[in-house]
């Protein structure tokens, strides 16, 4: 009798453990979500069409920088950013927060020289992580545009996740510093991003005097344009050419 009880208890424990492992896997893959219903929590299975996980981690290490970026395109704008340049961290956080991306960044670089290598390489890796997370780009909106103000500054970004790198900048930033960040590195970042993400990126300043506002506004524009461009709105590949990755 005691042995039968032990076997039964063992079965119960195994089943509970298996259920918990399955639930944890399902939650991590977003196969289901927890929803609060009245006084209890229930697990709701999501439509398979929305289950697609669009997340990627990219690491890149050279003699100049060591960078690791994880991005989830269907996140909520949760950011965990560490770079050696405070203003750069502030800008990358805008990208995640306003782009609706979950973004984890660990960047080290030879900032004793200046911030150029770190800024450029970080942009390349963020772009690459986004391209990886997009996969074959089936069903995405592909194009994104944003014109945003920040006090007196007004900037515009137009973006095409075409698979072809082309960068046009009309920011006309002067040589100046924001904290330890050379202002001209904003252009370097956008150029690196276009290379990493293999996208067509236009960034322009329409109005503005305050450099902090102009640079931050342009990052927010990129974020909002990206948020639109990566959005899934169908199942077709938005290209008559038949590919957005070549």
Size of the site for Mn ion (CB under 5 A): 1
Q: Which stretch binds Mn ion (CB under 5 A): 23-31, 74-82, 186-194, 213-221?
A: 213-221
- Minimum gap (Å) between residue 98 Cβ and Mn ion: 12
Cβ atoms of 127 and 92 within 8 Å: the answer is no
The C-alpha angle 59, 62, 63, rounded to 5 degrees, equals 150
Provide the token pair at 86: 């405070």
Task: Check binding of 93 to Mn ion (CB under 5 A).
Answer: no
What does residue 201 show for φ and ψ, rounded to 5 degrees?
Answer: -130, 125
Residue number with the smallest Cβ distance to Mn ion: 216
Q: Which of 102, 182, 187, 216 binds Mn ion (CB under 5 A)?
A: 216
- Minimum gap (Å) between residue 150 Cβ and Mn ion: 8
Of residues 81 and 229, the one with the C-beta less far from Mn ion: 81
Of residues 99 and 163, the one with the C-beta less far from Mn ion: 99
Torsion of CA 227, 229, 231, 233, to 10 degrees: 150
Q: Which stretch binds Mn ion (CB under 5 A): 142-150, 184-192, 197-205, 208-216?
A: 208-216
β-bridge pairing 153-160 and 143-150: antiparallel
Taking CB under 5 A as the rule, which mask of x and - marks residues 135-154 in contact with Mn ion? --------------------
* CA distance between the termini of the chain: 68
Of residues 142 and 220, the one with the C-beta less far from Mn ion: 220
Q: Which stretch binds Mn ion (CB under 5 A): 142-150, 196-204, 210-218, 232-240?
A: 210-218
What contacts 92, CB < 8 A, 6 or more positions away? 79, 81, 83, 103, 105, 122, 126, 219
Residue 90 to residue 215: CA distance in whole angstroms: 11
- Minimum gap (Å) between residue 216 Cβ and Mn ion: 5
Chain residues in the site for Mn ion (CB under 5 A): 216
């Amino acid at each position: 009798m005691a042995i039968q009880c032990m076997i039964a208890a063992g079965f119960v424990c195994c089943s509970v453990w298996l259920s918990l492992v399955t639930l944890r896997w399902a939650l991590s893959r977003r196969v289901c979500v927890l929803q609060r219903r009245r006084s209890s929590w229930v697990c709701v299975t999501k439509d398979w069409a929305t289950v697609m996980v669009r997340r990627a981690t990219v690491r890149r290490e050279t003699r100049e920088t060591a960078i690791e970026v994880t991005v989830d395109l269907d996140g909520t704008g949760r950011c965990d950013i560490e770079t050696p340049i405070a203003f750069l961290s502030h800008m990358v956080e805008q990208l995640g927060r306003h782009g609706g991306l979950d973004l984890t960044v660990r960047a080290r670089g030879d900032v004793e020289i200046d911030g150029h290598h770190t800024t450029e390489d970080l942009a390349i890796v963020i772009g690459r992580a986004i391209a990886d997370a997009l996969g074959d780009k089936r069903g995405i909106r592909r194009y994104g545009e944003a014109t945003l103000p920040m006090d007196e500054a007004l900037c515009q970004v137009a973006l095409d996740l075409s698979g072809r790198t082309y960068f046009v900048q009309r920011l006309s930033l002067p040589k100046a510093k924001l904290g330890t960040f050379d202002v001209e590195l904003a252009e370097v970042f956008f150029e690196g991003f276009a290379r990493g993400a293999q996208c067509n990126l236009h960034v322009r300043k329409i109005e503005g005097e305050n450099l902090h506002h102009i640079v931050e506004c342009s990052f927010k524009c990129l974020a909002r344009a990206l948020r639109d461009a990566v959005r899934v709105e169908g199942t077709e590949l938005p290209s008559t050419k038949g590919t957005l990755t070549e």
